[in-house]
Amino acid sequence: MTSTVHRTCPLCEAVCGLTLTLDEGGHVTSVRGDKDDPFSKGFICPKGASLGRLDEDPDRLRRPLVREGELWREVGWDEAFAAVRAGLDQVGDRSSVAVYLGNPTAHTMAGSLYAGPLIRALGTRNVFSASTADQMPKHVSSGLMFGSPMAVPVPDLDRTDYLLMLGANPLESNGSLCTAPDFPGRLKALRRRGGRLVVVDPRRTRTAALADEHVFIRPGTDAYLLFGMVHTLFAEDLVTLGREVNGLDEVREAAKHFPPEAVARRTGVPAAVIERLARELAAARTAAVYARIGTCTAEFGTLAQWLVDVLNALTGNLDRPGGAMFAKPATESGGRRRPYATGRWRSRVRGLPEANGELPVATLADEIETPGEGRIRFLLTVAGNPVLSAPHGARLDAAFERLDFMVSVDPYLNETTRHANVILPPPRVLQSGHYDFALLGFAVRNYARYSPPLLPMDERPSESQILARLAMIASGVDGTEGDLDAFVIDETLRKATGTPGSGVEGRDVAELRAALDGRDGGERRLDLMLRLGPYGEWSGKGDLSLRKLLDHPHGLDLGPLEPRLDEVLRTASGLVELAPPQLLEDVERLRAKLEEEAPEMVLIGRRHLRSNNSWLHNVGPLVGGSNACTLQINPADVARLGLAGEAVVRSAKGQLTVPLEPTDTIMPGVVSLPHGWGHAGSAQRVAAAHAGVSVNDLTDESAVDAPSGNAVFNGVPVTISPTGVITAH
Ligand code: SF4
């Protein structure tokens, strides 16, 4: 007997609905796009189609491992947790404890609901995550402009007339900080309805090839290009603000230093093109500027993110249909107006600022290696592989050996978890419930979908239970996951019932608690958030609850994006802060580097449709063929440097020998290596057979975007030489 079931794909930010066929043993026999999902409408990509292979990967760990010297021993759960408790006690001082959260924690209910309480229980400020190797500049820019780091405007893809996209390649990545299943189809629809798509990128990516226009730009110079456009808007009197803002004059003054003719040399984009792009943006009936990872992971990442929204605001496109808009997620909770701040504390060794409660992963090795009070001696990683994904991963690889104790919550023995003393593997994906708390806050259409667990639990605890038990150990409390959930639920209800004007003002906490649905604490907390949320039956504005989502297994369409900036704004002034002082300060740094000579060769990353960072390389159908770890290089550079077959790439941090992939889709002077590879000797057998090399053996942890502390992966100076030739860097 087979069964047909539905769930959200948990593998990337596109949140596609999937239809799975399971045999009677619970094995996945087919995966298709869910045609009845109102958001994804049947779309699926090769990663989603391989979900069954990933879920049943024979290399996934099924029982906890404890390391004894070079050997691993499978142990029971109680013994594993006892070892963690002993390790934590041995280190003692919580200022020597650190946490690293990998990218998949943003895709799991466990990460969304239990990572926060776990960090609080550990009582440490040494919190690191993949965010500072990815999108932290956007959070900092949004925090400073709108008062909330999660207030990230997304392009209203389905209605816009003009989309300017920088450093993003959604045909390969399916979108990021912009939740849009079938992003490719939505871009094609934009063009079919007469809209215009312009892509700015150092490579002619698949997305760029689809566009009306592709503009090559030197890596890391997006902020200059965007400032050149801002300059043009002011110079040609094209500014059409749709609403009152703070800081317009300051932005005008700052832009005076970046006329198109001055930034053209630095960016490689002709002044006439910069001016034309600004005029097109201003003239379009509706338009949006959207920039992603290529612009975030650069020396001026936060300035670039800021200028994206400055352009959206100056052209009247911020918060209007067809422009850059804010989603209204079903689990959104209100927040206080208070100034957003970064740098509330700083890293011990390099003095880098905290952002969103995190320190930059670029300084994790410093904090482990450098002696003194507060040196990190205990590390907990959750679903992360920073040895491959953080800058200068080789240094981290060595630093992890110096830890007194390390715990990893991870399904794999990989390049990072091999350093752990204890590995705690979560159960299969299909044994876990799924709700996208974070990603639906960046959706291009309001939508909600809950996927309950499809398979019963076995002897393994759920990932939520693992994190909750760790939180209990860290807090020294004898309790269960249920106690933690009950505490969070009661706290939330007490706050809601005590808030004047809330839909439950003055109601009885016990009565509301008793009304919650859910088979476990995670579901009950989801029900609570849905009921209190903007469509919820306890908000006075709707009837949404967990029960309603369970009655709609394909998901619920909650309508197109609507203007809601006033609801979203959390600035003290109640206005958009167009010129935050911290960013104007960084503009001085940008100005100082305007005339700087660009390195002869620079390195950038790239995405592939069948990859997702480091974590899908052990799935046979997703590796090999076009998904290979090659160095893309322009044929003119191949000829100029006398290269053939393979080449040696050298940076200030290391060197790699890499197979060449000559292609005129990359601009001269730029080479590209994908990240997440470098699996030689891995216990993941498929990955080891397609090992590749780690681009992060070349990247430089000393380079960060100043306001956010984000790592710099794009624009890394390198030299390229034929194999067998020794050159000085
Ligand atoms: S695009 Fe993302 S969410 Fe959709 S099927 Fe592919 S991996 Fe899954």
**What DSSP assignment string belongs to 118-184?**
HHHHHT-S-EEEGGGGTTHHHHHHHHHHHS-TT---EE-TTT-SEEEEES--HHHH--SSSB-TTHH
**Best residue among 45, 169, 444 to mutate for probing ligand 1, ranked by most atoms within 8 Å of CB:** 45
**Best residue among 16, 32, 179, 429 to mutate for probing ligand 1, ranked by most atoms within 8 Å of CB:** 16
* Domain end residue (candidates: 538, 557, 591): 591
Q: Is the CB of 154 under 6 A from ligand 1?
A: no
Coil/strand/helix, residue 446: strand
> Averaged in consecutive runs of 10 residues, what is the pLDDT profile of the chain (729 residues)?
94 97 94 98 97 94 95 97 97 96 94 96 97 97 97 98 98 95 98 98 98 98 98 98 94 98 97 98 98 97 98 98 98 78 97 98 98 98 97 98 98 97 96 96 98 91 95 88 89 95 94 96 97 96 97 98 96 96 97 94 94 89 92 98 97 97 98 95 93 96 98 97 68
Angle at 666 between CA 664 and CA 668, to 5 degrees: 85
Q: Based on the fold, state whether residues 583 and 661 are members of the same structural domain.
A: no
For residue 180, give the CATH number of its domain: 3.40.228.10
Q: Based on the fold, state whether residues 181 and 292 are members of the same structural domain.
A: yes
Residue 517 CB partners (closer than 8 Å, separation 6+): 523, 524, 527, 545, 546, 547
Q: Would you say residue 242 lies in a domain?
A: yes
Q: Is the CB of 45 under 6 A from ligand 1?
A: yes
pLDDT of residue 479: 76
pLDDT of residue 728: 46
Q: Is the CB of 47 under 6 A from ligand 1?
A: yes
**696 Cα: distance to centroid of ligand 1 (angstroms):** 26
Q: Is the CB of 439 under 6 A from ligand 1?
A: no
Q: Based on the fold, state whether residues 161 and 308 are members of the same structural domain.
A: yes
**179 Cα: distance to centroid of ligand 1 (angstroms):** 11
Tell me the whole-structure pTM to 2 decimals: 0.97
Q: Would you say residue 278 lies in a domain?
A: yes
DSSP state of 203: B
Q: Is the CB of 264 under 6 A from ligand 1?
A: no
Coil/strand/helix, residue 676: coil
Q: Are strands 288-291 and 602-604 parallel, antiparallel or unpaired?
A: unpaired
For residue 607, give the CATH number of its domain: 2.40.40.20
Q: Would you say residue 188 lies in a domain?
A: yes
Q: Please name the residue whose Cα sits nearest to atom 6 of ligand 1.
A: 45
**What one-character-per-residue DSSP string does 75-105 give?**
--HHHHHHHHHHHHHHH--GGGEEEEE-GGG
pLDDT of residue 725: 59
Q: How many residues does the chain have?
A: 729
Question: Terminus-to-terminus CA distance in the chain, angstroms?
Answer: 64
Q: Would you say residue 559 lies in a domain?
A: no
Q: Please name the residue whose Cα sits nearest to atom 8 of ligand 1.
A: 48
Q: Is the CB of 627 under 6 A from ligand 1?
A: no
Angle at 151 between CA 358 and CA 548, to 5 degrees: 105
Q: Are strands 245-246 and 576-577 parallel, antiparallel or unpaired?
A: parallel
Q: Please name the residue whose Cα sits nearest to atom 4 of ligand 1.
A: 16
**Best residue among 19, 20, 43, 44 to mutate for probing ligand 1, ranked by most atoms within 8 Å of CB:** 44
Q: Would you say residue 165 lies in a domain?
A: yes
**9 Cα: distance to centroid of ligand 1 (angstroms):** 6
**56 Cα: distance to centroid of ligand 1 (angstroms):** 18
Q: Would you say residue 681 lies in a domain?
A: yes
Q: Based on the fold, state whether residues 586 and 628 are members of the same structural domain.
A: no
- What is the torsional sign of CA 107, 109, 110, 111? positive
**450 Cα: distance to centroid of ligand 1 (angstroms):** 16
Structure token pair of residue 272: 């006439």
Rounded CA Rg of the chain: 25
Q: Which atom of ligand 1 is nearest to the CA of 45?
A: 6
Maximum pairwise Cα distance, the chain? 77
Q: Which atom of ligand 1 is nearest to the CA of 15?
A: 3
Q: Would you say residue 298 lies in a domain?
A: yes
HSE at residue 213, side-chain half, CA atoms within 13 A, is: 16
Counting the structural domains of the chain, the total is 2
Q: Based on the fold, state whether residues 578 and 659 are members of the same structural domain.
A: no
Q: Based on the fold, state whether residues 633 and 714 are members of the same structural domain.
A: yes
Q: Based on the fold, state whether residues 611 and 716 are members of the same structural domain.
A: yes
pLDDT of residue 413: 97
**305 Cα: distance to centroid of ligand 1 (angstroms):** 25
Q: Would you say residue 130 lies in a domain?
A: no
Q: Based on the fold, state whether residues 188 and 308 are members of the same structural domain.
A: yes
Give the closest residue to 570 by CA, choosing from 150, 88, 104. 150
Q: Based on the fold, state whether residues 571 and 628 are members of the same structural domain.
A: no
Alpha carbon distances (Å) from 530 to 6, 110, 500, 554:
20, 17, 19, 17
pLDDT of residue 727: 52
Q: Based on the fold, state whether residues 582 and 672 are members of the same structural domain.
A: no
pLDDT of residue 334: 73
**What one-character-per-residue DSSP string does 365-423 give?**
HHHHHS-STT---EEEEES--HHHHSTTHHHHHHHHTT-SEEEEE-SS--TTGGG-SEE
Distance of CA 346 to the CA centre of its chain: 22
Q: Based on the fold, state whether residues 581 and 625 are members of the same structural domain.
A: no
Which residues constitute the domain of residue 234? 156-321+565-591
pLDDT of residue 45: 97
Q: Based on the fold, state whether residues 174 and 286 are members of the same structural domain.
A: yes
Q: Is the CB of 14 under 6 A from ligand 1?
A: yes
